[in-house]
């Protein structure tokens, strides 16, 4: 997988190192203490040192990015990956790194950042994209709705992912539609339903298949 996507991996790695370069360009303008965490009310409630923000955050996401790549390569069923699904795996961390680090730098420079709005819109969009790809996912140990019943039965896997895809798209649209309300608990409730409903559907399908 790495050899086939070598160019994409190089581009995504450079994209994830870009926030470090931007941080160095802004070094003299950034304060010694940089916002690092926002509470559910959108207010900054955590701070970190400037070097920590510039180097550790992008480095952490870069490490997680490559961890996902190696985990996908180690999956004995990695040949089942749909090309579009694989592209999501390769690009999700770089995109998040650019957005999150931009928010941190902007807040550090005194800009007003509607974190709860941005994160809700971003989360909703991500779930819509993933929801559209769920029906295309084939059985694997690293990607998809990995339950004992889906991994042991291809029919269960396919039906669960078709159903789960609809739930995730609907959930993502709802999250984006309610993003401007700025209600953290709406987001948490929808996320819980997006996990519980497909799991329950898969289990009931397993029970019906076992009974048959």
* Short-list 126, 212, 124, 209, CA closest to 160: 209
Alpha-helical segments (H) within 109-153: 115-133, 148-152
Interaxial angle between packed helices 6-25 and 83-108, expressed in degrees from 0 to 180 and rounded to the nearest 10: 0
Vertex 57 angle, CA 96 and 168, to 5°: 30
Q: What is the pLDDT of residue 110?
A: 87
H helix or E strand, kind and range, residue 34: strand 33-38
Percent of the chain exceeding pLDDT 90 equals 39
Spans in the chain with pLDDT lower than 50: none
Instruction: Say how far apart CA 124 and CA 57 lie, in whole Å.
Output: 23
182-192 confidence digits (pLDDT tens)? 777 888 899 99
139-189 confidence digits (pLDDT tens)? 888 888 889 989 889 999 999 999 999 999 999 999 999 888 877 788 889
């Amino acid at each position: 997988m790495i050899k086939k996507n070598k160019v994409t991996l190089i581009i995504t790695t450079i994209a994830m190192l870009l926030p470090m370069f931007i941080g160095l360009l802004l070094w003299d303008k950034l304060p010694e203490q940089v916002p690092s965490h926002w509470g559910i009310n959108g207010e900054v409630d955590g701070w970190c040192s400037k070097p920590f923000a510039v180097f550790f955050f992008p480095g952490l996401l870069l490490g997680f990015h490559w961890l996902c790549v190696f985990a996908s390569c180690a999956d004995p069923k990695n040949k089942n990956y749909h090309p579009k699904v694989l592209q999501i795996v390769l690009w999700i961390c770089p995109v998040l790194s650019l957005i999150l680090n931009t928010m941190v730098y902007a807040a550090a420079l005194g800009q007003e950042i509607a974190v709860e709005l941005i994160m809700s819109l971003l989360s909703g969009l991500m779930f819509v994209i993933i929801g559209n790809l769920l029906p295309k996912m084939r059985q694997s140990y690293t990607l998809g709705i990995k339950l004992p019943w889906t991994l042991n039965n291809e029919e269960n896997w396919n039906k669960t992912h078709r159903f789960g895809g609809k739930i995730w798209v609907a959930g993502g649209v709802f999250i984006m539609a309610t993003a401007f309300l700025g209600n953290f608990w709406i987001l948490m409730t929808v996320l819980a339903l997006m996990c519980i409903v497909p799991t329950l559907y898969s289990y009931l399908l397993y029970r019906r298949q076992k009974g048959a």
